[in-house]
Amino acid sequence: MRANCSSSSACPANSSEEELPVGLEVHGNLELVFTVVSTVMMGLLMFSLGCSVEIRKLWSLIRRPWGIAVGLLCQFGLMPFTAYLLAISFSLKPVQAIAVLIMGCCPGGTISNIFTFWVDGDMDLSISMTTCSTVAALGMMPLCIYLYTWSWSLQQNLTIPYQNIGITLVCLTIPVAFGVCVNYRWPKQSKIILKIGAIVGGVLLLVVAVAGVVLAKGSWNSDITLLTISFIFPLIGHVTGFLLALFTHQSWQRCRTISLETGAQNIQMCITMLQLSFTAEHLVQMLSFPLAYGLFQLIDGFLIVAAYQTYKRRLKNKHGKKNSGCTEVCHTRKSTSSRETNAFLEVNEEGAITPGPPGPMDCHRALEPVGHITSCE
């Protein structure tokens, strides 16, 4: 996508020798090792999450893609519009406004799949939404950016990272496909793999967060406005996604899934697009936003998971108390019934032992309810 590209050195095509800021310089073998390890771990994680996907449910989602459609509306409807409103409301500088808008136009990130698993969401819908939004990003990212920036005077090329999108699709779909096959062939083993993958996912999130901050420490910008937007933006995404899913009569499980998918964006894709599109001078002002957004979306995700697990534990304890109360009542009723039965049998035995014809009092006593008999005794 091109918007008012000039022939000066500001255009990335004419500034290939431009040096990156200090925080983006290659850190030698450390950064290479970190990239390789994180990619392999992400592939293994998506394989384990794929073990939770059932072919029957996945096929039903494809046949009736109402949940996926709601998710895509949130991803490429609500998020870009929210980004545009935030950029206008906070009167951001042009380069900063572009960074916020690009983040809003990015597809969903794989981090949402991990959080969806921890809140007992619909994993079939989550993985389907992530895959479909990544595919749709090939056309929707240029379209959304063009619609919201056509009135802005841009001096740079906005280069869509198609190669990065393709790599994301490969790293997402192939491991998930293997996981689906394992779940179909060996359902018991897939549950064990899924539990291990959940632990690996938590470790991966912490490692990526810490390493990302360390490797890009020179790119942090103490702009309070950008930090404020990066804090409230994912929250707005989670809330609006949940409300739209609730408005379209989705189940509670799907509402949680769509909420997490909406607020979690593909941070790496946003950073790649900024690096391909802008000069080093502009990157210093822009890169702090996606880094802060990634950090805050991790914090928000952990808070949502903690709140859900706390609610789930309290609900479980409440049901446990009710069940124990029902057990005591049933035990008391059973004991009372047993005593009444024994009393009734004793009365019948007395009547059977006494010789001679029954008198009027005996007949009346035999016809009395069991409760009256026990009270007389």
Domain contains 374? no
- Which of 31, 151, 163, 139 is closest to 94 using CA atoms? 151
The token duo for 161 is 């990272």
- Count of the separate structural domains present in the chain: 1
Domain contains 358? no
Report, as an integer, the average pLDDT of 232-261.
93
Given a cut of 60, is residue 253 above it in pLDDT?
yes
pLDDT at 340: 52
End-to-end Cα, the chain, rounded Å: 95
Domain contains 178? yes
Please write the tens of the pLDDT for every residue from 49-103. 778 777 787 788 878 888 899 999 999 999 999 999 999 999 888 888 888 999 9
CATH code for position 226: 1.20.1530.20
In angstroms, the CA 1 to CA 63 distance is 33
Domain contains 269? yes
Question: Which of 181-185, 208-212, 305-309 has maximum average pLDDT?
Answer: 305-309
Domain contains 280? yes
Domain contains 201? yes
Domain contains 335? no
Percentage with pLDDT > 90 across the chain = 19
The token duo for 369 is 């309810």
Domain contains 354? no
In angstroms, the CA 125 to CA 62 distance is 10
Domain of residue 95, residue span: 33-213+221-318
Higher model confidence: residue 344 or residue 54?
Answer: 54
